[in-house]
Amino acid sequence: MADKIIVAFDLYGTLLSTESIAKQLEKHVGPKAEAVSALWRRYQLEYTWRLNSMERYEDFSIVTKNALVHALAEHGEQLSDSNIAALMEAYDHLSTFPDVNPALIRLSADARIQPVVFSNGSKTMVSNSVLRSKDLSTHASVFQDLITVDDIQRYKPSPASYHHLARKMSKQESQMDQMWLISGNPFDIVGARSVGMQAIWVDRANRGWQDAVAPGLRPSAIVHSLEQIVQEIQGRR
């Protein structure tokens, strides 16, 4: 029997919409909610890259909380500890994108594919989001593992994070091209491609590939809906 195709799904910004937290923010900051939400996400990512560069590590929940405080401050807002805690709790229950449900149903029907979650999120955050949230918990059985960077304390797009995925999947460094990353985040796509993985970018906004940090590193494929990934993977085996 041929080896299964390992398909690693990024979580935040790929399966879960980080923009959906704006609904909860609106209760606290009113019409500023969408702007604060976007800045929160920006600093959440930026903090992980800064920490990698400084060779430091903080749990992703701490990174997420600190990024929220920063985003609020830039908009002249300050919330109580209890309100911050409530928003952090809500972050474990983000909404999925509309194409996630049909895509995972289709994926579960293909026995040749081994889907896993591969996230910068902490083990607790990822577990809560996949196993307990309203949107994803019904599909939890689709994923055969929940892999985070906690064990190596290096965030994506560090090469160490993708090599960690390979080890968890019992792959050698020479077999990186046998794994597929699915992500809506360009930095993640570039990181995966830099170590030889296959990578599909989910371009839901239909804006086209614009990332130029390393012009030679482009997605293996681009889709506009998560439902298209099975066809892409099967066609490129």
Q: In a structure prediction context, what are the per-residue pLDDT tens digits for the chain, which is 237 residues long?
A: 468 899 999 999 999 999 999 999 999 999 999 999 999 999 999 999 999 999 999 999 999 999 999 999 999 999 999 999 999 999 999 999 999 999 999 999 999 999 999 999 999 999 999 998 899 999 999 999 999 999 999 999 999 999 999 999 999 989 999 999 999 999 999 999 999 999 999 999 999 999 999 999 999 999 999 999 988 988 776
Name 142's Cβ contacts closer than 8 Å, sequence gap at least 6.
104, 107, 108, 115
The type of residue at 62 is I
For the chain, what percentages of helix, strand and coil (3-state, to nearest 5) are there?
A: 50, 15, 35
Q: What are phi and psi of 233, to 5 degrees?
A: -65, -45
If you ran DSSP here, which 8-state letter would residue 97 be given?
Answer: P
Would you state the pLDDT for residue 1? 42
Would you state the pLDDT for residue 234? 81
Query: Which residues of the chain does CATH 3.40.50.1000 include?
Result: 5-16+94-235
Query: Which residues of the chain does CATH 1.10.150.240 include?
Result: 18-91
Would you state the pLDDT for residue 17? 96
Would you state the pLDDT for residue 91? 95
The architecture (CATH level 2) of 5-16+94-235 comes to 3-Layer(aba) Sandwich (3.40)
Angstrom distances, CA of residue 135 to CA of 44, 123, 140, 202, 221: 23, 18, 10, 19, 27
If you ran DSSP here, which 8-state letter would residue 169 be given?
Answer: T
If you ran DSSP here, which 8-state letter would residue 95 be given?
Answer: P
Would you state the pLDDT for residue 237? 63
Distance between CA 97 and CA 225 in Å, rounded? 10
Would you state the pLDDT for residue 2? 62
| Angle in degrees, 0-180, between the axes of helices 159-168 and 186-194, rounded to the nearest 10 | 70
If you ran DSSP here, which 8-state letter would residue 71 be given?
Answer: H
**R_g over Cα of the chain:** 17
Residue 188: enclosing H or E segment and its boundaries?
helix 186-194
The architecture (CATH level 2) of 18-91 comes to Orthogonal Bundle (1.10)
